[in-house]
Structure 1
Amino acid sequence: MLRAAVYPLAAVAITSLGLLLVGPRYAAGLALTGFATVLGGWVAARTALGGGIQAAGIAMVRLILAMVLKWVLVFVALALGFGLWRLPPLALLAGIAIGLIFQVLALARR
């Protein structure tokens, strides 16, 4: 579970540092949504897998709740980035993409 959070976190941090060459607002946008994606994945994993052995109905509810929590966190970060801080849209969307891609790659690696 920790590996699924560390690899995307490192990828978002390195890409965000690279975007400092383009501008600090781009780096902040990517960092905001990238870290929100990583944090959302970690919260989802803790919610879905943290309950121990339970009945099938309860396990399904935990999985659905975990996914909803993850995406609520990501959408709140997008709303803050777009609406409140007026960060560049491409950087905001790239942060989500990088976070999700590296999360899947970390989970697929054995």
Structure 2
Amino acid sequence: MLNSVDPGRRLMLRAAVYPLAAVIVLALGFLLVSPKHALGALLSGLAVSAGGWVAARMALGGGVQAAGSAMARLIIAVVAKWAVVFGVLIAGILVFRLPAVALLAGIAVGLMFQVLALARR
């Protein structure tokens, strides 16, 4: 099934699914501490996964373009990703009063597995 999908779409799918799976495992581990910790890890990990998916979609979805336009799309995609991640982090701490350690752990695990997913051939 995945072999019939073009490489750009496969990359976008991998950039979103791998971190999501890792963050779910992390949230299950934090469930042993408390439900708030698990929710914090899951929420921030979902933000990394969603931000990565949005960034990949923006950066890779434009087809063949001039170098300047491609670079602008990449920069805008990275800014959008980090806006999503920091927005969720701030809302998790200030609005929902979730533990900062769990939120930061979800971001760290999500980012590590996102890099691993993108580095895999």
Give the TM-score category using the shorter length. Answer: over 0.9
- Superposed counterparts of 1:2-81, under 5 Å: 2-81=13-92
- Paired positions, count: 110
Deviation at 1:40, TM superposition (A): 0.2
Deviation at 1:77, TM superposition (A): 0.3
Partner residue of 2:8? none
Deviation at 1:5, TM superposition (A): 1.4
What's the CA shift string for 1:34-86, capped at 9, x where partnerless? 10001000000000010000111111110000000000000110111110011
Deviation at 1:33, TM superposition (A): 0.6
Unpaired stretches in structure 2, ≥5 consecutive residues = 1-10
Structure 1 runs (4+) deviating above 2 angstroms are: none
Unpaired stretches in structure 1, ≥5 consecutive residues = none
Deviation at 1:7, TM superposition (A): 1.0
Partner residue of 1:97? 108
What's the CA shift string for 1:18-38, capped at 9, x where partnerless? 211100000011011110001
What's the TM-score once normalised by structure 1's chain length?
0.97
Deviation at 1:3, TM superposition (A): 1.5
Please, what is the CA RMSD of the aligned residues?
A: 0.7
> Identity across aligned pairs (percent)?
65
